[in-house]
Amino acid sequence: MILKGHFIATLALCVLGQAAFAQEDFYALDHLPEINILFTESNWDEILDAYFLAGEEERLTCDLEIDGLLIEGVGIRYKGFSSVSVDRDKNPFNIKLDYSDDSESYQGIDKIKLANVIQDPSFLREVLAYQIAGKYLPSCRANFARLYINGVYWGLYTNVESIDKQFLSDHHWTNTGSLFKCNPETLDLFGENANLSDTPGDDISNYFDLYDLKSDEGWDELWTLIQTLNNAPEQIQEVLNVDRTLWMHALNYAIVNLDSYIGYAQNYYLYQDHNGLFNPILWDLNMSFASFRLTDASEYYDGFSIAEAKTIDPLTHLNNVSVFPRPLLRKLLENSTYKRMYLAHLRTIIEENFDTQWYIEQGELHRALIEPWVELDTNKFYGFDDFQANFDSTVSDLVDYPGLTDLMSDRSDYLLEYEGLDNPPTISEVSLSPMIFGGNLDAVAAVSNAEEAWLFYRFGTDGVFQSLPMLSDGAGNYSGSLQNVGNLLEYYVYAQNSTCGRFAPERAAYEYYSASTALPLGTVVLNEAVTNNAGSAVDNAGDADDDWIELHNLSSTPVSLEGLYLSDDLDLPLKWALPGHHLPAGGYAIVWADEDLEQGQMHANFKINLAGENLTLFDSTGTLWDATTCPASEPNVAWARFPNGTGPFVQMGPTFAAENTTVSVSECDFKRSRIYPNPAQSQVYFSCPRPLPWRATLFSPTGQVVAAMTGKGEKGSINLNQIPHGWFLLVLEQGNWTETHALEHH
């Protein structure tokens, strides 16, 4: 059993002057990037002030240096709303690196967002909050940056990763789904804002000012989410990633982050992934750890004190009123299982980060790194004494900012005794019977203090976890059986009693267990390729001219493509690693050969030459699974197997992600050649489809010709006595007919 998942590893932090080795990582926690904005206009601040006051997103062009590297023609404007003021020197910045040149970036980053650390005398809230969040759900990377303007030190900023296409590609399988920033155009302090209620009515245009659409389309999809949440919550798992939503709520309540969905129903994103599920993404954590206490939209709708923040009820929208509706809380937590899952996540956050004092250790390391630069920051909003004090003690300014350790010590004690966190099940062991491809599998968990347990599982990393009730043997073991298991199983266990739940692993579903077995040779084949696409298919980014390759699962078992490689170069057989895509039994998968890796996981790092090119499928051991030579092609003509999955490749009409049934060649081309025996020892024989001249060429996996001969008729052979053992490609040609076989020589 292997523990896997996507999480940001805790990095060891170094004191100032010892982090030069890490400067290649722009967001490394132990690195303070030096960013120097180079304006040519002496009145640059007046220009940016004017853009902001006009409500425009106009940018001022300037140059930028990052750790000494010059980038010309970037575009800059202020970032955010409440943290900006034309009367301040230290404003937040949004810097677009590809403003003048679409190809410009820094370490793959094309947008930099620098926050001015307002509402936080400790300077730690935002970075520490994102560091914690990254353990449990896709979250922005964040660190600190030293900002200079025209060579003059302007202050220490927080440097937070942008939620853009690169972020979506890193955390989701595509980056072209519906994306919303859930911030109203005008915040209503006594309204519902971006709360996902259906109060605005049935006209979708009434929602336009409440949610900021960042993708080309998505309003119909958001409307479906809102209608399902409010009117059919029992079906919410069909349109919402419920687990990640529960993690978001748990994080907000754990660290008292009320400038969020809980408070004014803002500062989060929603992204609809390739499975049709909306995923919440945390944003703007600078006022976490109870820096914001103006409302919780429930009991403390008119604000609350530091003492009340320490004991704010994590079920307030279930146990109390919702003065301003919060259906994403109430509708989910009315489901008793979701409520216990949510509380289990909350307990994990408290136990791992606060009960262990981990956050104090990390906070002290951050403080040691930034302290000299905070002291030198003459534009900061609080005194240096406030910075030194606020990690532990309250600092009073316009409001009282609680000390982080004072707040979280008491909050941790309160939550660990909260009903629903204080009496959880234990899951001491999770084991599997041996995995056999296509066979059955038993999962057993040693569980105590539980009444129910479930196994959550999927057969590919891009799939949705399915649930299977586990049966108790009455002696502390719960078991579940899966049938027809593929080559990859990702799974976790959840158990609950009448009040509490627990996951194994505790960070599920962001982390999970993984088990695998060998994928039998030949299970997956190359089935179709279109190398001159002129609208036969459109990819997820809307491109209608990208090459595409179809893979087909010949088996009756679901498989993961992880461990297989596609290539157009015989010298580089492992050129592009296929991701762990879930391919159903008898199913089809499309790979876009467009070199647009940023568009999603199923976009390869090569294109196929219009003049014709080899196409191979290997596994990680270098074993050849399948190969063909794509010929030069007219627009929208496919090079495809007929009969589907097993026949030779012929030119035919494209059948995107479907069975190859439509052909445009003569019937004689449907006949398939055969080689035997395979594996072969001293001699390999082959048959051809027609009694015509043929040519047989034997290639090594690296593309070298090791044997070639010609003949005529429907049969032939090649002597292998002088050829080394291994895998080879046998290419048979008759006229315009070509077929490639993988041959193993023993």
Residues 467 and 603 in one domain: no
Residues 489 and 561 in one domain: no
How high is the pLDDT of residue 677?
A: 85
pLDDT at 173 exceeding the cut of 80: yes
| Whether the Cβ atoms of residue 96 and residue 90 lie closer than 8 Å to each other | no
How high is the pLDDT of residue 21?
A: 38
Residue 593, burial from CB neighbour count under 10 angstroms (0-12, 13-18, 19+): buried
DSSP letter assigned to residue 10: P
Least confident segment among 117-126, 698-707, 713-722:
698-707
How high is the pLDDT of residue 2?
A: 60
Q: What share of the chain in percent tops pLDDT 70?
A: 95
Q: Residue 125: helix, strand or coil by DSSP? A: helix
Last-in-domain residue among 398, 416, 434 = 416
Closest residue by Cα to residue 194 from 134, 274, 284: 284
Q: Check residues 155 and 4 and name the one with the higher pLDDT.
A: 155
In a domain, 597, yes or no: yes
Residues 632 and 725 in one domain: no
Last-in-domain residue among 487, 516, 545 = 516
How high is the pLDDT of residue 11?
A: 33
In a domain, 378, yes or no: yes
**What is the β-pairing status of strands 477-482 and 471-472?**
antiparallel
Q: Per-residue pLDDT averaged across 58-73, rounded?
A: 97
**Cβ neighbours of residue 100 closer than 8 Å, sequence gap 6 or more:** 61, 72, 73, 74, 75
Q: What share of the chain in percent tops pLDDT 90?
A: 78
102-144 tens-digit pLDDT: 999 999 999 999 999 999 999 999 999 999 999 999 999 999 9
In a domain, 41, yes or no: no
Residues 445 and 354 in one domain: no
Provide the domain limits for residue 386: 2-31+117-416
How high is the pLDDT of residue 18?
A: 36
| Whether the Cβ atoms of residue 324 and residue 196 lie closer than 8 Å to each other | no
- Supply 561's token pair: 């493509």
Residues 582 and 547 in one domain: yes
DSSP letter assigned to residue 223: H
Please report where in the chains the tokens 């006229």 appear, as a residue: 735
648-675 tens-digit pLDDT: 898 888 999 999 986 654 433 445 677 8
Residues 435 and 460 in one domain: yes
How high is the pLDDT of residue 216?
A: 93
Range with the largest mean pLDDT of 281-285, 618-622, 641-645: 281-285
591-628 tens-digit pLDDT: 999 999 888 899 999 999 888 889 999 999 999 999 99
Residues 396 and 482 in one domain: no
725-738 tens-digit pLDDT: 888 888 888 876 77
Rounded Cα gap, residues 204 and 207, in angstroms: 6
In a domain, 610, yes or no: yes
**What is the β-pairing status of strands 268-272 and 179-181?**
antiparallel
How high is the pLDDT of residue 16?
A: 35
In a domain, 192, yes or no: yes
Residues 509 and 531 in one domain: no
Residue 113, burial from CB neighbour count under 10 angstroms (0-12, 13-18, 19+): buried
Residues 686 and 568 in one domain: no
CATH number reported for the structural domain that contains residue 685 in this entry? 2.60.40.1930
**Cβ neighbours of residue 528 closer than 8 Å, sequence gap 6 or more:** 549, 550, 638, 639, 640, 641, 654, 655, 660
Least confident segment among 62-66, 231-235, 285-289, 650-654:
650-654
In a domain, 77, yes or no: no
Peptide bond into 509 cis (omega under 30): yes
Specify the number of domains making up the chain: 4
CATH number reported for the structural domain that contains residue 510 in this entry? 2.60.40.10
Please report where in the chains the tokens 């203090």 appear, as a residue: 449
How high is the pLDDT of residue 701?
A: 72
CATH number reported for the structural domain that contains residue 602 in this entry? 2.60.40
Last-in-domain residue among 380, 397, 416 = 416
Residues 255 and 312 in one domain: yes
pLDDT at 22 exceeding the cut of 80: no
In a domain, 405, yes or no: yes
How high is the pLDDT of residue 15?
A: 35
Residues 677 and 535 in one domain: no
On average, the pLDDT of the chain sits at 92
Rounded Cα gap, residues 120 and 370, in angstroms: 14
Rounded Cα gap, residues 697 and 718, in angstroms: 9
Residues 630 and 714 in one domain: no
362-421 tens-digit pLDDT: 999 999 999 999 999 999 999 999 999 999 999 999 899 999 999 999 999 999 999 999
424-448 tens-digit pLDDT: 999 998 999 999 999 999 999 999 9
pLDDT at 166 exceeding the cut of 60: yes
In a domain, 199, yes or no: yes
